[in-house]
Amino acid sequence: MDARTLGTAPHALPVSALGLGCMGLTNGFGPATERAAGIAFLRDAVERGVAFFDTAEVYGPRTNEELVGEALEPVREHVVLATKFGFAFDDDGRQVGVSSRPDDIRRAVEGSLRRLRTDVVDLLYQHRVDPDVPIEDVAGTVGELVAEGKVRHLGLSEAGPTTIRRAHATHPVTALQSEYSLFWREPEQSVLPVLDELGIGFVPFSPLGRGLLTGAVGADASFGENDIRATLPRFAPDALAANLALVERVRSVASRLEATPGQVALAWLLAQRPTIVPIPGTRRTSRLEENLAAAGLRLDEDALAELTAASDEVVIVGERYPEAMAAMIDRS
């Protein structure tokens, strides 16, 4: 697979053009994958060219890092590991808010290093901005961890333009992670211009609209209690039926190109900027193969314009998060 670079020298991080979002292996989209199967899947992803893996302390919680760490330990020198801190947990391990206090960051990193079976985290994201801790303190603490050799690069997740600028002025930010797809293009308004200006890479999660843009989710789809989509307004029955209009427009382009809707959606993202590295998540080898083929799909100007126009014209129904989750997103 082709390589891309997040950030700029001397803080550049080379990665594969497509990464793998690992959350769904343990939570968010139904029961956790059986451990041996998950390990085999992750090692197969490496064999197929994936060299950028995204996990987080909160996934599981903590069990996702353990799975990723065990699977990738034999090939650690050939892959880039990204993980995240920033959530607080109670004594039973349940997530109970956010915390990016310096001591909590250090505790989180020590735990991540142990679970990931590594001496250094390649890319460390603040998972959610903590309104009670100045971002300068957060970036400064990660900068200290970089100096100590425990972290290589600082990243932010779901951070707004002002926060990005303040963090970057304290310690260089290599990558910003946020949702971005034909279904959700808000980052184009204020975030992407700042990233372009500062030389920061962009890592879109949910680049396939949490499965919608694969074309595999129908209007009659139902989601189990362990599936995050059961709580998302965009997937409520009436909203889902309306939102499939965009999928049909994508499907039309895909049919003409003899590709799948998911491949076209990923290729559209890759074409937006050379500094964009999507991290679609899956636990199925067939879907992994399909996604990776998108890295070799080149869309001509007509196809790109048609897809962008479809995204502009179809009104997406339903917010991407329920109110409580939306309140944790930084817009400053």
Positions marked active-site: 59
CA distance linking residue 63 with residue 32, whole number of Å: 10
Give the number of other Cβ atoms within 10 Å of residue 166's Cβ. 16
Measure the CA–CA gap between 92 and 221, rounded to whole angstroms.
33
* Residue (of 59, 28, 31, 61) closest to 230 by Cα position: 28
Phi, psi of 152, rounded to the nearest 5 degrees:
-105, -40
Pairing between β-strand 80-85 and β-strand 52-54 as defined by DSSP bridges: parallel
Strands 13-16 and 3-6: antiparallel
- Give backbone dihedrals phi and psi of 267, rounded to 5 degrees, phi first: -65, -35
Which residues on neighbouring strands pair with residue 177, listed in sequence order? 157, 203
CA distance 274 to 256: 25
Distance, in Å, from the CA atom of 314 to the CA atom of 144, rounded to the nearest integer, reads: 46
Q: Where does residue 106 rank: exposed (0-12), middle (13-18), buried (19+ CB within 10 A)? A: middle
What ranges in the chain are assigned the alpha helix state H?
35-47, 63-72, 102-116, 135-147, 161-170, 187-198, 237-257, 261-272, 285-293, 301-313, 323-326
Q: Which two tokens stand for residue 252?
A: 């039309």
Instruction: Find, among 29, 28, 31, 2, the residue nearest to 14 by Cα.
Output: 2
Residues 299 and 39 sit within 8 Å (Cβ to Cβ)? no
